[in-house]
Structure 1
Amino acid sequence: MRIKDFLNASDASIHRQTKWIKRFLETYWVVIALHLAAQLFSYFFLPYEIEAGAFYYKVLAGPTLLMGGTVAAAQLVDRYAARYSFISMFTAGTFVSMVIIHLNMDVRIIGAVMLLPIMASAIFFRLDLTMYTAALQIAAFCILYNWDYRFKAFLNPFDLVSIPLFILVGTLVAGIIIVNGRELLHDLETTMTAKQDLMAENALILKISRTDALTGLFNHMSFHEFYEKALEYGELGVPFHLALLDIDNFKGVNDKFGHRAGDLVLSRVAYTIQENIPSTDIAARYGGEEFAVLLFEPTFEEALGLMERVRTAFSETRHAELGGLAVTVSIGLKSFEKGMTKERLFEDTDALLYAAKRAGRNKVITPLQKVDEGSVAL
């Protein structure tokens, strides 16, 4: 691995792994503290052939300060030069390992400490990082062997072969972990992408099944689902109102101007309704040229005002497809009262709609209004 390639690693990738770098650096402090505690325990409770002064200076204070200074330097690099965080982190870890090996070389398996940084690097799923860490361990072994005479004297010919071999094997194992981990992540990403696509398709299918293709409003089936839920809330004291709208003389529009023009009129009625009612209200194309609206305004007067606004806005809309003519709608409006069945509320509102038709069309009729044929007592 080339250091240049390592330094060119993506800043975004480094940023994603910042928390793990900080955790590793914090772990180094734990290792230093545990090593300090182990040395004190060994000195006081195990045979330890060294004078107190030499112990506190050469074994305890000096090495601990060196290791702590190295870790502190790595933390400064992580804070002020984050691009070099990986290099500083594993360099500091290697130096800590060297010091621990130097102080505990009489422990036969202490050389295995060199495997720990290599295995730790695998957590980042980066082969370049593992190769860099492995190279650090080889360099550390060579430094200890050539410049630490006590370490060199302690090693036997088997150690000279086994320790580099262990480092090599550890690197291979870490590499296998990384490759398998990347494959698992790829499979997981593929699965998640497929799941997201499926969810999007299901959402689209659900939307299509619940809405009218021409107007974009809820369809007949969806309206009844909302209608039944509104009745449940109505029995609990939540006010709501039902409005039924029907386009006046729509058959004449289709017969004279064609079904294409009729479809455009239907779409504009739907648009007018949506533009004039709150997003919390439910508008649906109930069938043909008839629309149903569930209004959840606190008062009947507010609901009536909305329906008048819809009626007025549409009556003032001119249609180029109809030679500049306007089309009107008739509306029946009634509020829900506790104990009222869904059939009764719908039938009463439908009767109001037809009363508006009989009264001359382009009207909003409610139970409180009078029409030419007499009072509408519902």
Structure 2
Amino acid sequence: MSRKAPNQVRYDAGRSHWNIRLCRVYRYVALIIIVANLLALPLIASVKPEVLEQFVYKNVLSQNVAVLLLLALSELVVRRLHKYQDYCILTLGALFPIVILYYTGTESSGLEFVMLMPVLVSIIYFEYRKVLFAFGSSLVLFTLLITLSEEHRVLLAVEQKMLGFGVVLGCSITAWSIVRRGLRMMELERNFLLKEEEHRLELALIDERARKDALTGLHNHRTFQEQLHETMEQAQGTGEQTSVHLALIDVDRFKSINDNFGHLTGDLVLRTIGKQLVKLQSEEVFAARYGGEEFALIFRSLDRSDVLACLEQLRAGVERTSIYELDGRHVTVSIGCTELRKDDDTSSLFVRTDEAMYKAKNNGRNRIIAELR
């Protein structure tokens, strides 16, 4: 069994909503017709008692039954029918004025304007084919009325017949213009919203590029500084003990790699290490390229053992990575790590971490020096 797309489901729901509202309008029309017939009953009895019996049979009984039948059919269509629901509702809307004209007779002039009803109803769908359908069904039903009903064929004046056709045609042209104008406005609004969304996405992309390192895809130096300040303010601004660790990673002998294998290979090394750092990123771990061959990690709400395990995973992973362009030579990194103290600011924390990293390099490289409390 096929499933409808979400947009189609929303469209069907909106369409049914409007059809339910139209049924409510039809109820009001039916109520007006029934009440009008009942109110006219004492007037007919006093003014034209000789036609009272005919009026009761034709209007009070037959017309009201026909109106209630149309109303019941419209309710049934909304509740049970789904495929051609709109067209059935429009057809029933076209039958209401035919019932009014048929049972009212030819004596009342101007009633032909009730033929406006189905065409006006079709406007709410904002579809050309619905307007055409309402025009066609109204035209056909009015033609059948003045053709099959002997009273209307013989007694209805030509001017009234032409008025009926003119009302249907004029209202249809107006409805077509309204729908066309409405669709144009909707298209303009849609294009405006699309352009606005494109502009928003472009701004987001520009901001993303401004915050990311183009070579590695990691956060850049500016974003690192912002994140470090924010993390330290959050940790030092709360009464709770929130652990913060900073780690600096430096690629060992990177100048030698550039000198011996070229800067393109050097870039490849940085991208490879960047991929390793991307894998470590999470809500608690923030990774960035600090500059050149140096990278940085900010750890939030992790204990020392987890921080050291993460750094060892990085160190060992880089060492195991084989880069074809280096002719079998392995890349290593030296890592310095410190923990935030109560009296630290960004400068003091960074200086201590940088010193730890240089200790790792001076002590033989490819190692971690952690100065933790």
Q: Which moved more, 1:289-298 or 1:273-282?
A: 273-282
Gaps of 5+ in 2: 1-7
| Residue type at the aligned position of 1:271 | K
2:18 maps to what in 1?
20
User: For residues 61 and 339 of structure 1, what CA distance do their matches in structure 2 show?
Assistant: 94
SS of aligned partner of 2:371: coil
Aligned-pair CA distance for 1:19: 3.3
Question: Structure 2 residue aligned with 1:272, among 266, 276, 283?
Answer: 276
Q: Is the counterpart of residue 362 in structure 1 residue 366 in structure 2?
A: yes
Asked if the contact 2:247–2:297 (Cα under 8 Å) also holds between the matched residues in 1, the reply is yes
Asked if the contact 1:93–1:117 (Cα under 8 Å) also holds between the matched residues in 2, the reply is yes
Per-residue CA deviations over 1:130-166 (Å, capped at 9, x if unaligned) read: 1221122223323333444666687545423323212
Superposition pairs for residues 329-340 of structure 1, below 5 Å?
A: 329-340=333-344
User: For residues 332 and 351 of structure 1, what CA distance do their matches in structure 2 show?
Assistant: 7
| Residue type at the aligned position of 1:300 | R
| Residue type at the aligned position of 1:176 | S
User: For residues 205 and 9 of structure 2, what CA distance do their matches in structure 1 show?
Assistant: 34
Superposition pairs for residues 16-55 of structure 1, below 5 Å?
A: 17-40=15-38, 43=41
Aligned-pair CA distance for 1:56: 6.9
1:299 maps to what in 2?
303
Aligned-pair CA distance for 1:352: 1.5
Q: Which moved more, 1:199-208 or 1:31-40?
A: 31-40
User: For residues 298 and 62 of structure 1, what CA distance do their matches in structure 2 show?
Assistant: 84
- Percent identity over the alignment is 28
Superposition pairs for residues 155-170 of structure 1, below 5 Å?
A: 155-170=156-171
| Residue type at the aligned position of 1:288 | G
Asked if the contact 2:112–2:167 (Cα under 8 Å) also holds between the matched residues in 1, the reply is no
Cα pair distance change 1:266/1:104, threshold 3 Å: same
Aligned-pair CA distance for 1:286: 0.7
SS of aligned partner of 2:83: helix
Question: Structure 1 residue aligned with 2:318, among 314, 321, 340?
Answer: 314
SS of aligned partner of 1:340: coil
Asked if the contact 2:245–2:298 (Cα under 8 Å) also holds between the matched residues in 1, the reply is yes
- Alignment: residue pair count: 359
1:195 maps to what in 2?
196
Aligned-pair CA distance for 1:217: 0.4
User: For residues 329 and 191 of structure 1, what CA distance do their matches in structure 2 show?
Assistant: 51
Per-residue CA deviations over 1:183-203 (Å, capped at 9, x if unaligned) read: 222222322332233233222
Question: Structure 2 residue aligned with 1:281, among 274, 280, 285?
Answer: 285
Q: Which moved more, 1:48-57 or 1:210-219?
A: 48-57
User: For residues 325 and 234 of structure 2, what CA distance do their matches in structure 1 show?
Assistant: 42
1:4 maps to what in 2?
none
Superposition pairs for residues 120-269 of structure 1, below 5 Å?
A: 120-148=121-149, 155-234=156-235, 235-236=237-238, 237=240, 238-269=242-273
| Residue type at the aligned position of 2:369 | I
Per-residue CA deviations over 1:191-229 (Å, capped at 9, x if unaligned) read: 233223323322222221111111000111111122222
Q: Which moved more, 1:329-338 or 1:90-99?
A: 329-338
Query: Pairwise CA RMSD of aligned residues?
Result: 3.1
Per-residue CA deviations over 1:323-346 (Å, capped at 9, x if unaligned) read: 122111111222333442111211
Asked if the contact 1:67–1:95 (Cα under 8 Å) also holds between the matched residues in 2, the reply is no
Asked if the contact 2:304–2:372 (Cα under 8 Å) also holds between the matched residues in 1, the reply is no
1:347 maps to what in 2?
351
Gaps of 5+ in 1: 1-10, 370-378
Cα pair distance change 1:99/1:316, threshold 3 Å: same
Cα pair distance change 1:300/1:156, threshold 3 Å: same
TM-score, normalisation: structure 1: 0.82
SS of aligned partner of 1:218: coil
Aligned-pair CA distance for 1:264: 0.9
TM-score, normalisation: structure 2: 0.83
| Residue type at the aligned position of 2:69 | G
